[in-house]
Chain A
Amino acid sequence: MSIAIAVRSQVAIGVGRESGLSAADRARLAQLLLERGLEISCRHTSPHEPSPLDIPNAGAADPVALADRIVQASTAAAGATSGLGSSASGGGSTGGAQWKPWFPVIDYSRCTNCMQCLSFCLFEVYGVSADSKIQVQNQSNCKTDCPACSRVCPEVAIMFPKYRHGPINGEEVKSDDVRREAMKVDISALLGGDVYALLRDRSAKAKSRFSKERDDERALKERQNCLIALKRDLDVPAEVLAALPSPEEILAKAEAARARARAVNPNLKV
């Protein structure tokens, strides 16, 4: 018997025959436990965590049944440790938590601290550290599947590791990426210029047509088409586009961020 659960929900599994499980069953068990938010430690020696809870006759069970028993024991152990009863789903892990870990990760080797991401973000994900560096401070505020802030970063310094495409997903940045990003180096060019200008232009054209045609349905369709095009081009969720701040709001947010940074460091030139 060499399966044990530590109180922080790190499951220790013996390597090789020590576990009493075949390699395929060990792999399957590990997969099942990982998908339930538990950490795995495969070791030749006994579990290094103090006071592990043994699972008797582990080798006799099939991986699915064993995973169930381990999760139950882990939950009970976490509950006993925290005094929260059986609701805990695993020590430090969020096992079973609904939040998809979607948040920006800053590549500080590229970041120039321009604060455009902070200015742009609608959800207060970014903040400024005591030494006036841009930081991701409220990860769980981030809008799932929205990579908008990475698109306004002129240095291609913001990643979303769970995004589909590079370089936003963390793929190495190529010179073409930088050139492309340089085209939208100024947030005002993206928002005050491109997007808002596009919206205004389309709106003006639509108005012109509407004044002739007086067709409310067409007006609505035009706006929907505009938002669909923006959603497609920027890969930004529609609800985020619908809540885009005005250029004035963006400038106000940037100024507020600078004020916060100056309050922390009066000598800062931002």
Chain B
Amino acid sequence: MSGERPRILYCHCAFAKVVAPEVKTAVLNGLAGADVEFDAVPDLCEMAARGDARLRELATDEPLMIAACYPRAVKWLFAAAGAHLREETVRVWNMRVEPAEAIVAGLTGRAEGAVGTVESPR
């Protein structure tokens, strides 16, 4: 990471109701309010199913922080599209279980150790 600001990717999980709407809204509000650059996609699963080349592009743009669901699922969704996330440079935040405030703080670098300590997706 070496102090470089990570790219932020947000997945809206638009095709299912497994992520609480209030969490998605709070994370989007937090990102918009923090004036940080970020990318947002409707649904990583749908992109993986299509083998979307954007996933490969995103995977190589390191360091990367992803707000989506379970890290194990995200890692292998990218892999399914031929995009390999490097564990040492990617941090996945799980909107299914983690509180929105913690996710926003982590993504925007307000959480202690959020930038520069990227955890493995698995």
Say whether A and B bind each other. Answer: yes
Report which A residues bind B (CB closer than 8 A): 15-16, 23-24, 26-27, 30-31, 34-44, 92-95, 97, 99-103, 105-109, 136, 139-140, 159, 161-164, 166, 169-173
Which positions 1-36 of chain B face chain A at CB distance < 8 Å?
Answer: 12-16, 18, 24-25, 28-29, 31-33, 35-36
Q: Which residues of A contact B32 (CB under 8 A)?
A: 23-24, 26-27, 30, 42
Instruction: Pick the 9 closest A-B CB pairs, nearest first.
Output: A170-B73, A170-B70, A101-B45, A27-B32, A34-B12, A40-B40, A161-B73, A23-B33, A101-B46
Asked whether B52 is an interface residue with its Cβ less than 8 Å from the other chain, the reply is yes
A–B pairs, 14, beta carbons within 8 Å? A23-B35, A31-B12, A38-B42, A40-B40, A41-B40, A92-B54, A94-B46, A99-B46, A105-B76, A161-B45, A161-B73, A170-B72, A170-B73, A171-B72
The contact string, 1 if C-beta is below 8 Å from chain A, for chain B 25-65, is: 10011011101111111110111111010100000000000
How many A-B pairs fall under 8 Å by CB?
133
Asked whether B110 is an interface residue with its Cβ less than 8 Å from the other chain, the reply is no
Most buried by B among A31, A92, A166: A31
Q: Which residues of A contact B50 (CB under 8 A)?
A: 92, 94
Contact A15 B37 (CB under 8 A): yes
Q: B109 CB to closest chain A CB, in angstroms?
A: 15
A233 to B38, CA, bound (A): 42
Q: Interface residues of B toward A: which range?
A: 35 or more
Q: A62 CB to closest chain B CB, in angstroms?
A: 15
Closest to A172 in B: B72
Q: Which residues of B contact A95 (CB under 8 A)?
A: 42
Contact B70 A42 (CB under 8 A): no
Q: B53 CB to closest chain A CB, in angstroms?
A: 8
Q: Which residues of B contact A103 (CB under 8 A)?
A: 45, 49
Contact A101 B39 (CB under 8 A): no
Closest to B79 in A: A108
